[in-house]
Structure 1
Amino acid sequence: MKQVPRVLIVEDEPAIAELVAVNLRHNGFQPVWAEDGIAAQREIDSVLPDVILLDWMLPGQSGLALARKWRADARARAVPILMLTARGDEPDKVAGLDAGADDYISKPFSTQELLARIRAVLRRRAPEHAGDIVAIAGLALDASTHRVTWKDKPVKVGPTEFKLLQYLMKHPERVHSRSQLLDKVWGDHVFIEERTVDVHVKRLREALGPAGALIETVRGAGYRISGQIPVGSAA
């Protein structure tokens, strides 16, 4: 039997939470509501959700603080987070992505847009080809176990960064534009801005440490992964 994706809705406004929950239920998801960070943590400790819909403005801990907390937690780290926010300015969106969110959606939003974004983060969470192992210059990625290692030492990366790294490593030395990466890594939907790619590349480089120097910025063109650390970078 196919498992129904469990979606944790962290939202302090009951009317919004109920509307989202009804639409999710009607579209094949299992919604669970938590009105603040404490209730959300109880749900996560009980049953790990497949996706978290996280409101930015919450009583107690903010959505931003919760995203950082869950990204630092080994058990919850791989769960995709989609931030619900009335803050539509780009600096706020970038702050949400930097805190660990995989995507964001500005209020008010349509049901179809919300469903498309949830399906997109679930697609990104699944490895592209289970069983594939790719390696470049001491950096290795195993899709079947969802593990990344650098010189045989484990590296922790988020679900979107894993998918991004997997695509780059499968196409080494090729330059990929931001729009190409959006299509191949995020999927062929139209909601994600190209700036999102820069945020996730930055986060991936930071997670990889010295191996992050393998991912090169090609000015005016995009990004590529190289087979060797550039001269002058710490290895």
Structure 2
Amino acid sequence: MEYQIKGSTMQSLQLQLERGDSIYSEAGSLLSMSPTIELETNFTGGIGGVFKRVITGNTAVLNHFKALHGEGHVSFSTRMPGHIVPLQMDRYNSVHVQRHSFLCAEESVSLNVVGNMGLTGFFGGNGLIYNKLDGSGLAFISVDGEVNEMYLATGETILVHPGHLAAYDSRVSFEVQRLKGFKNMFLSGDGMFLVKLTGAGTVWLHTLSLHGLAEVMMPYMSSRG
């Protein structure tokens, strides 16, 4: 399977599938596909799995695209200005991906919800909701704004605003830390918590957050006339 990432600030992904190839994506990200490709929408993980996906803000279903009638292409678009990052899963034990960052993956890569600490309001509108990618093959994530990819050496630590953490590999230690001081917590505008990430492992940050964008757009959304 070959792929091509097109565009600059609003990228799209085109995958060229050979006969028998199959990929899946979250619902709502399809841009175009060849008539040789069959789309099959499935509830994944039984009733419990569907319920868990819904309450954590993921789509209830996954769309599967199969090249059953010959080769063809499938294209996906991002829902926010940003960049598409390919992940060769053979390089990682697993990767934790923020719920809105997953785009698509080969069928050999599994996708499961791994966390929701119920602190969405304090975490820049995103909460601690992550999907876990496991397996081998290619997966693609959508990173809002610009991509800041970094490798943390063993014992190296950074503090990250949760709204800007797009993904991290499972070797990275993840710990929530509350900001110290009343003014810092309630007047800084950056929420009450930061995430402490400790290597070794790779971290992907995005420069545009949904919460920040919503705050900028709010005066224009509320005004009329």
TM > 0.5 fold call: no
Greater share of strand: 2
Q: Which has the higher contact order (CA 8 A, sep 6+)?
A: 2
TM-score (norm 2): 0.30
Higher helix share: 1
TM-score w.r.t. the length of structure 1 is: 0.29
